Structure formats: structure tokens, C-alpha cells
Amino acid sequence: MSMDLHELIINPGRSLPFSCEISEERLAQPSIVSFSEPVTGSGEIRNEAGLLVLTGHIRTRLLCICDRCAAEFEKSVDIPLELTLATELEDEENPDFYLLCDEKLELEEVLSDCFILGLESSFLCREDCKGLCGRCGADLNLGPCSCKKEKDPRLAVLEQLLDDKD
Ligand SMILES: [Zn+2]
Ligand SMILES: [Zn+2]
């Protein structure tokens, strides 16, 4: 979806609403199993005294895999959008500006970039997910595994020393 922003660019003060469904193929990630709802970006682009400012949200629901315990879980995603669009870049290194080509905005492309950048880098089923035991693979959210009963070898040495004193 390509938006022609010419009218907006020549009319300071004007705004242009947008709503766009992002195709799921663009958003594939190893931690995402499936999208339970369409990924929709909506909001508006305003011409603020010659600066084009895009604001809005990307919303969806995901079925994803926990990075720590590998359980599947659903999560709502609401990524706020705030982006300044520029017809030319004065500072090529400035990541806060998105460069337009011929006064046109490739909306779906911009939104899919924002989605990928805006997703938290880690997918956790809950913030305090205990993950899997590195030794036996048990899900530690369900309780301690049998490995926990083994003593710390340093403690064992100490206990041995104390025993010898008796
Ligand atoms: Zn987890
Ligand atoms: Zn274990």
C-alpha cells in the first residue's frame, strides 16, 4: 500500500488518517507460532508546520513460544507508533526520520519495520518464568526438579569438615 503524501506535504496543519493490515509473511519470527488476529496498523499523519509526523498503533494477538521454557502462550501486542517522515535527509545517520521516496509512503513496509523493532526482544510466558532445568530439562515453573536436591560441592566439603570435628 503506497500513500501519496503530496497533498499533505503542501498543506501545513492538515492530517491524513491511515489503517493498514500487515501481511503476516513480512513478520515471520522463530518465536511466533501464529497470529490469532490480523496485524493492523492505524493512526494518522499530521503536517506539523512542515514536518510530517506519523502516530498510531500496531495491534494484534500472537501465539508465541516462551524463550525460557518453550511453552506456547498468547499475548496481546500494542506497539505505539511515532515517526517523523522526511522528503530529504539532512543527517543520514538519524534513525528517527523515515525517508520518503517521491512523496510516497510505503505504509506496509514502514509498519512491518516498526512491528519488528517494537516487539520486545524476548518472548516470556510470564516475567518471572523460571525456564527449564539445564541438566534434566524439567519445567521449573511446575516446581523444583530432583537435581535441586544435590548439594553444592563446596557445601559438601564444608559439611565434611564439620563432621570430622565431632
Ligand atoms: Zn516460560
Ligand atoms: Zn533438573
Residue 122 domain-assigned? yes
| Alpha carbon of 72 to ligand 1 centroid (Å) | 8
Range of the domain at 121: 2-129
Q: Is the dihedral of CA 78, 79, 80, 86 positive or negative?
A: negative
| Alpha carbon of 157 to ligand 2 centroid (Å) | 22
| Alpha carbon of 127 to ligand 1 centroid (Å) | 8
Residues with CB under 5 A from ligand 1 (ion): 66, 68-69, 125, 129
Considering only CA atoms, give the Rg of the chain.
Answer: 25
Poorest-pLDDT segment among 49-63, 103-117, 151-165: 151-165
Residue 102 domain-assigned? yes
- For 13, other C-beta atoms within 10 Å of its C-beta total 9
How many Å apart are CA 89 and CA 116, to the nearest integer? 23
The distance of Cα 158 from the centroid of its chain, to the nearest Å, equals 47
CA distances from 155 to 127, 151, 158 (A): 31, 7, 5
How many Å apart are CA 97 and CA 93, to the nearest integer? 9
Residue 47 has pLDDT above 60, yes or no: yes
Residue 92 has pLDDT above 90, yes or no: no
| Alpha carbon of 148 to ligand 2 centroid (Å) | 7
pLDDT confidence tier of residue 86, bands split at 50, 70 and 90 = confident
Residue 88 domain-assigned? yes
Residue 146 domain-assigned? no
| Alpha carbon of 82 to ligand 2 centroid (Å) | 45
Ligand sitting nearest the alpha carbon of 135: 2
Residue among 97, 102, 85 nearest 4 (CA): 102
Q: Number of structural domains, the chain?
A: 1
Residue 149 has pLDDT above 90, yes or no: no
Residue 166 domain-assigned? no
Residue 139 domain-assigned? no
